[in-house]
Structure 1
């Protein structure tokens, strides 16, 4: 469904991606693992057309999106939930969610998706009139995911959704991701919490210095001594 074929990205003279090759099939949850600066966020940003690809090819649902515009990528159904949530702190929960449907012309579809989000995340329904900036970190992450769902994603890219959250809240976020996937949305998940990510993923990739260096199923990577030592604690 989403494929990176030998993708290279530069920031000025600094090469961030050195030939990334990643494949996500429809219906999967795939994790990208790696330390800070490895190139995980840049990989998602390249797919979203937020950063330009120097070379290589990115395709989504059979279409080459390497040179696409960000709004066209969103229109195609590839939705990015960025690191840090990026909600609108002075807008209400409801207004934040409604902004997720800004490209959707069918208002009935937006209303249906809003109903579905409130069923999936009932806390947001209870706080629909509350300003986004007054929510806790975990609640803001749920809001960011909910806003993305209003766009009607075929595939959801999530960048560090567990960052800064308590273990109990991390478990809740991962459960929501599993439910989103079970409802038919493919997921590409960037996570430093490798243990939490690999427990819910179909497959995973390890990125080091802008290159994919390892891949395997969730259980395979959880059992790999190199993953245990590098990301899970020896």
Structure 2
């Protein structure tokens, strides 16, 4: 079952043509990865899905909702939750306070508490640092807080924008394992990544985005063996 469909979308920033007939789908229960270099249009795509950027043309639908016209707060309330590039946690607030903010649209306080406990079970390091200010955490720990904050919102579809950026290889592996575990517990994931090697290990399907268009697509395992992907993103 397809939960997200992007079809022939065009996005401009002034005269800059950021997305060009971009098309892809995300099915329920999948991890789908968008691969591409800087400037390919990946973050613009995430902002489009979050209602922060509007398309000039094309169709963007999520679980029956028209994302081209929906308000960002209604998109969040529908279960589509975006973890932005750069983490953007609140540095002077504790880990626990950051997680609590993830539930600001959730009226059931018991659900918020249960989800925070789920985060602590999934990421025990955050439980150890629950009273520590966000700004004193390592980059990997801050990324875990950003992901945990999104989980508290109760995502049906989790958008992750460059979660491996700036992290050491061992920490990247840990973050990707967390993403895979979140998916295994029933959350659909759209993952934007430059680290193709790490992303293709956990994704079910993937798309390659170049200059605002999808140029390749297929099962992640197949793309990991595709000579074009190997040459451009994986090395020899």
Question: TM-score of the superposition, structure 2-length normalised?
Answer: 0.98
1:104 is aligned to 106
Gap regions ≥5 residues in structure 1: none
**Per-residue deviation at 1:64?**
1.7
Q: Which of the numbers 118, 121, 124 marks the counterpart of 1:119? A: 121
SS of match in other structure, 2:23:
strand
- Two-structure CA RMSD over aligned residues (Å): 0.6
1:171 is aligned to 173
1:211 is aligned to 213
Q: Distance in 2 between matches of 1:77 and 1:54?
A: 25
Q: Please show how residues 127-146 of structure 1 align to structure 2 within 5 Å.
A: 127-146=129-148
Q: Which of the numbers 89, 92, 95 marks the counterpart of 2:91? A: 89
Q: Distance in 1 between matches of 2:21 and 2:74?
A: 24
Q: Distance in 2 between matches of 1:66 and 1:185?
A: 23
Q: Distance in 2 between matches of 1:57 and 1:39?
A: 17
Gap regions ≥5 residues in structure 2: none
Q: Distance in 2 between matches of 1:13 and 1:42?
A: 15
1:4 is aligned to 6
1:160-193 deviation digits (Å, cap 9, x = unpaired): 0000111100000000000000000000000000
Question: TM-score of the superposition, structure 1-length normalised?
Answer: 0.99
Q: Please show how residues 1-234 of structure 1 align to structure 2 within 5 Å.
A: 1-234=3-236
Q: Distance in 2 between matches of 1:2 and 1:78?
A: 10
Q: Distance in 1 between matches of 2:55 and 2:211?
A: 17
Q: Which runs of 4+ in 1 moved over 4 A?
A: none
1:58-101 deviation digits (Å, cap 9, x = unpaired): 11112222111110100000000000000000111011000000
Instruction: Give the count of matched residue pairs.
Output: 234
